[in-house]
Each structure stands twice: as C-alpha cells, then as structure tokens.
Amino acid sequence: MDLYFKNISKYWLFQFLGWMMFAGINIFFAFTYNLFDARFIGRLALYVAIGLLMSHFMRMIIKWLKLMQRSINYQLTGFILVSVLFATIVGIGETYLSMFAGLEYKEEANWATPQKISSNIFSSFIYLFIWNCIYFIYHYVAESRKNQLDNLKLEALVKSLELKTIKSHINPHFIFNAMNSIRALIDEDPSRAREAVTALSNILRSSMSSDQHETITLERELNIVKDYLALELIRFEDRLDVQYGIDEDSLDQQVPPMMLQTLVENAIKHGIGKTMNKGEISIRANETNGQLVLSVTNSGILEIKQDHDGFGLQSTSNRLHLIFGDAASFSIKQLNKDLVEAKVIIPLSK
C-alpha cells in the first residue's frame, strides 16, 4: 500500500484530495439545509468530474504558457484570464450537461437562462481562482526553497573552490617555481622579471577576491589566464606553445571567476608538465546558437584519476549547474591519441 501511494504524484494526490474536500463541504451544507437527495449527488458528481478535468487542462495551459517563469504582474494577469476562460467552460458545461442528464429540479424549468449560466460561471470562477492561488502559492514556496538551497550550495561551493584555488596558487611548488624563474630573469632580463612579478601578484590577488562575484567578464578571466601562462612560459620556455582563438564579441560575456584558469592549470599540470616534448595549449571562445563555447585543448593523455588528484573539475561542473542550470555543461575528453579537450558551454547573457 505504501509503495502504491509513493507512485502517485503529489499533483494528482492533491487534486483528488482537494476536489473530495470540495465535495465533502457541499455534502455537509446539503445535509444542514436538508437539500441532500439523488439529484444533488448527481449534480455534485458531475461538477466535481468537470472541475477535476478542467483544472487539469488549466494546469497544462499554465505550464505551456510558462506562467510560473514570468514576472509577478504577468503571472497575476495570466492566472485571472485562465481562470475566467475555464470558469466559462465549466459554467456552461455544467449547466447543459445537468439539463441533458435530467438533473434539474422542477422549479428550474428555465434552467439554461443567461442569468443561471452567468451565476454558474461566476461561482466556477471563484473555485478555479482559489485552485490557481493554491497552485501558485505551492510552486512559489517550492521554488523559493529551491533557490535558497541552490544559493547556499553555490556559496559553499565557491568558498570551497576559492580555498582550493588559493592553496594551489600559493603552494610551495608553485611559489618555488615562479620565484626561481623570476630570479633567473633578474640579471638576464630585468624588464621581463618585473612583468613576471606583476603577473604573480595579479594571480594571487585574483585568487583572494574570487568569492566576491558570482560571475565576471570573459575578458577579465582571460587576463588572469594570460598572467598565469606568462609565468609558465618562463618555466617551460620552448616546450610550451600557447594559442588563442577568442571571438571579440564574447569578451563581455559572464563566466564564473577562476573557471577558465582552472582548466588551463589542469592542462599544464596533467598535460604539458608530464612530458619532456614540446606541448601546446589552445584557448578558444566563440558564440554560437545563443551559447558561449569555451574550450581548452592541450597535448597529453586524459587520465580518469585526474579529476581527483587535480582540483576544480568537479567543482567547475557543479558551479555551472548551480549558476546557469541545465543550460550549461562541462565535458573533458581525449580528441585523439595526444590531444585532450575541456569544453564549457554557457548560455549567453542578455
């Protein structure tokens, strides 16, 4: 029995309970005022059946029009208009079906009068508008709770990613490599050494402030990536070749902070850093079909374990889902025997 009720959706459970409650209230008042008889039961059963069917169709229209996703003023207007439309259908339908089924009383010889039809439409509007109000309140509360939970998850996830990013950027190996590279440049190329110090400072500053914004422009994110690669180019020298293919129109689009940098760092750590041969990293961004497509390709072999001993790839996927919903996606795959691609798809900001 428990399994049977679990298989019934909340919507249909509330539908049946709501209309049964409506029938119960009417039966109570019918007994109270001595109006309970066979015709009353027949007309009540007919009205409940029509109401149940029409309220379901009304819900289908609400979902088709996506009223719950509109502004509050649009929702209110839409719910009133939908209630009027279906109240008219229910009022007229109940009037004539009752007449054809012989459920009218003798004193109702002129049953289908304009006044009676109008009265039935008005009462049906009251019931259906109450139904709509309950439907709206339920979904509004449910959506509010979902948004609150998503915001809390996002906040916790961003905090976690920030700590991982800071830890990665200030870990002894990174600082050691960066400072050694800068020290080697001080005598050989002081100007380039100063640029390297500036790049390192920018990276650390960006890491520390990554939790202040849910999204930043792609242009700003690219500046962080270029600072990071500037330091890595000092370390890898001719072993690293970096290419960019950035659509200028996409520079104003919003992306999660440190997301692209995470993918590039992953490419360096698990691709270029694991071979003595010359490697290549390609960073591309373009707009297509209402989406921003970001890709980072690198020389190397994709290892399943890299999502665990690296950092940020799972967080990248989670952040995208929490910020942009199902409209965003993240994937990483082996394109050929020595080339890996990480791709992010984000809906274009309006």
171's enclosing H/E stretch is none
Mean pLDDT value across residues 95-99: 78
259 falls within a domain: yes
Does residue 143 register a pLDDT over 50? yes
Looking at the structure of the chain, the number of domains it has is: 2
> pLDDT at position 144, please?
78
Mean pLDDT over the full length of the chain: 78
- Is residue 332 within 8 A of residue 302, CB to CB? The reply is yes
Separate counts of helices (H) and strands (E) for the chain: 11, 7
- Is residue 256 within 8 A of residue 214, CB to CB? The reply is yes
Alpha-carbon distance 252 to 245, whole Å?
A: 15
Mean pLDDT value across residues 214-235: 84
**Contacts of residue 197, Cβ cutoff 8 Å, sequence gap at least 6:** 182
Does residue 294 register a pLDDT over 50? yes
Shared-domain flag, residues 183 and 328: yes
Mean pLDDT value across residues 179-187: 72
Structural domain of 73: 2-148
**Among 116, 148, 180, which residue terminates a domain?**
148
341 falls within a domain: yes
Closest CA to 42 of 56, 26, 18: 26
Summarised one tens digit per residue, pLDDT across range 43-57 is 888 888 888 888 888
- Is residue 157 within 8 A of residue 322, CB to CB? The reply is yes
1's enclosing H/E stretch is none
Shared-domain flag, residues 336 and 199: yes
Alpha-carbon distance 167 to 177, whole Å?
A: 15
Does residue 82 register a pLDDT over 70? yes
Instruction: For the full predicted model, state whether its pTM sits above 0.95.
Output: no
**Contacts of residue 75, Cβ cutoff 8 Å, sequence gap at least 6:** 67, 68, 136
Q: What is the largest CA-CA distance in the chain?
A: 111
> pLDDT at position 161, please?
64
